[in-house]
Amino acid sequence: MATIDFTAEVEKRKDALMEDLFTILKVNSERDDSKADKENPFGPGPRKALDTFLAMAERDGYKTSNFDNYAGHFEFGEGDEVLGIIGHLDVVPAADQEGWNTNPYEPVIKDGNLYARGASDDKGPTIACYYGLKIIKELGLPLSKKIRFIVGTDEESGWGDMDYYFEHCDLPLPDFGFSPDAEFPIINGEKGNVSEIVKFNGKNAGATVLHSFKSGLRLNMVPEVATAVISGEVADLQAKLDAFLAENASKNLTCEIEEAAGKYTLTMHGKGAHGAMPEKGVNAATYLALFLQQLSFADGAKAYIDFAADLLLEDHEGEKLGIAYTDELMGNTSMNAGVWVFDENGEASIALNFRFPQGNTPERMQEILAGKAGVTEVEIAPHVMTPHYVPENDPLVSTLLSVYEKHTGLKGYETIIGGGTFGRLLERGVAYGAMFEGEEDTMHQSNEYKPVDAIFKSAAIYAEAIYELAK
C-alpha cells in the first residue's frame, strides 16, 4: 500500500472539520444541576452536546448508541481486540468567569486562534480525533482491530457519565486506548485525585463580623474571584486595602469595596487556572483571606481566615499543612483550594483538591488536616481516583510516541501529570494530545483558545495513530 499523507487528507477536510467543531462549540454544555432530570442527567447543555455529536456520527454512517444521555459511542472496524478512544463534550463554567473578550459560546477565529469554551478542553481535540478516524473510514484502510469511540458529558465534574456508561454498556472494556484530552507527546501516568472538604464552625465572636465568604466555581479550577461580606470594626478599610494591593502588586490583584446598610462587600480578583496546576493561577480566596487577617475576627471566622492565610496562601504542595509528599516516579502532591463557603448561619468549609502520587493516600491527608486548629471535620469527597501508570515500553505508548515524533520532528518522552483524564479508565489507557509543546495552556481559563493550525496538526496525528494501533 502506498504511504498515506495524513496531513494532506486533513487539508482536504479542514473546512468540514471546522464547521462541525463550530457547531458543537456553540452548545453551552456546562453542567447545570438545577435543570437536571431523568432526560438530562447533568442538565440540558451536556445532553444537547451529546445529541449533536451522535447526529454527526450518524450522518457519517456510524451506528450510534446513547446511554440514557449520560454518554454515547459508536464502533468501526472488525477484530477481536478493541481500541478505545474516549473524549468528553462537557465544559467548565464560563458564564460566571471574568475576563472573556468574546462570547465563550460564539466561537471566533482571531490571529489564527479559535476562541471558545471547549476549544482546547475538550471539544477541539475530540473533533480533531473524530476526523482522524473519519479519514481512515473514508479511505477504506484495512484494520485488524475494532475501534470504539466513546464520548462523555460529565468529565469536568464527577465522572458520573462514565460510571453510568460502564455499568450499562454490555460490551467488554476496550483492551487499550487513549483520551484526546491533555497534551503531546503523551500522558502515560496520572496522579491520584481526591477532594477533601475541611469544615469549620460558622461562628463569630470578634469586633469584626464575617457574614459570608464565597469563592470558586469547581474543584478543578483555581478561584478567580472571591467575595466576603463583613461588618463591625472596619476602620480605614479602603486605606488598608490600598496598602495591601500595593504590597502585592506583582500578583495583579484588584479588589472593590461596596457598603450597604452597615455591611461591606469585598470582591477580590485573581487569576484562574486549571486546578491540576494551581501554581499557574492567583487564588483570589487566599489573598482575600490574607487581607482580612488584619481585622478583628474571632471564633470560627478567625479559624477559617487564619487557616487560609497561614496554611494555603501560595503553597501549592501542602508543605505548610504537612501534607507534602513526593514520589521518585510520579513527583509531588499538588493542592488547589477550589471551593470556599462561610455562612454565619451555617456551613463553613474549604474544599481542597489534591493530585497525589503513589505512596501518598487520602487517609493520610485527612488525618493531617483534621489535626489543624479550628478544623471541626474533614470529609473525603466521593470519586477518589488512585494513581495510574502505563509503562513506557508498552506498545501503546511506544507507537503513539513514534507517530508524534514523525509529525513533529521532536523527541517523544513519557509524562506524568496531576490532571485526571478518561485515559485512566482503561488499564492500558493513556492521554494523547492535543496541546503541543510551547502552546499556551488556557484550559479552564477566560479566553480559552486553540491555535487553528494545531487543531489540523493534531487531527493528522490522530489519524495516523489510530491507523498504526488498529491496522
3-class DSSP assignment, residue 87:
strand
Letter string b/e over residues 130-151, b meaning 16 or more CB atoms within 10 A of that residue's CB: bbbbbbbeeeebebebbbbbbb
138 is catalytic: no
Cell triple for residue 23?
Answer: 457547531
Neighbours of 322 (CB within 10 A): 13
Convert 273-295 into a string of H (helix), E (strand) and C (coil). Answer: CECCCHHHCECHHHHHHHHHCCC
Q: Which of 9, 20, 30, 90 is catalytic?
A: 90
**CB-based contact 454:434 (threshold 8 Å):** yes
Report the DSSP beta bridge partners of residue 431.
179, 187
Q: Which amino acid is at 455?
A: I
DSSP letters for 69-85:
TTEEEEEES--SSEEEE
Cβ atoms within 10 A of the Cβ of 307, count?
A: 21
Contact yes or no for 350/337 (Cβ under 8 A):
yes
Instruction: Write out the three cell numbers for 440.
Output: 499556551
User: Active site includes 5?
Assistant: no
Instruction: Yes or no: say if 10 and 135 are a contact pair by the CB < 8 Å rule.
Output: yes
Bridge-partner residues for 352, per DSSP?
196, 337
Q: Which residue has the cell 509543546?
A: 437
Amino acid in position 50: L
Residue with cell 482522524: 132
Query: Residue 317 has what DSSP assignment?
Result: S
- 100 φ/ψ angles, rounded to the nearest 5 degrees: -70, 130
- The Cα 106–Cα 129 span in angstroms is 22
Report the interhelical angle of 44-59 vs 6-25 (nearest 10°): 140
- Each residue of 44-58: b (16+ CB within 10 Å) or e? bbbbbbbbbbbebbe
CA-based torsion, 425, 430, 434, 439: positive or negative: positive
Q: What is the DSSP string of 326-386?
A: EETTTEE-EEEEEEEEEETTS-EEEEEEEEE-TT--HHHHHHHHHTSTT--EEEEPS--B-
Catalytic-labelled residue, pool 155, 224, 315, 448:
155
Whole-angstrom Cα distance, residue 281 to residue 223? 8
Cβ-contact 153, 49 below 8 angstroms: yes
- Active-site residue list: 90, 155
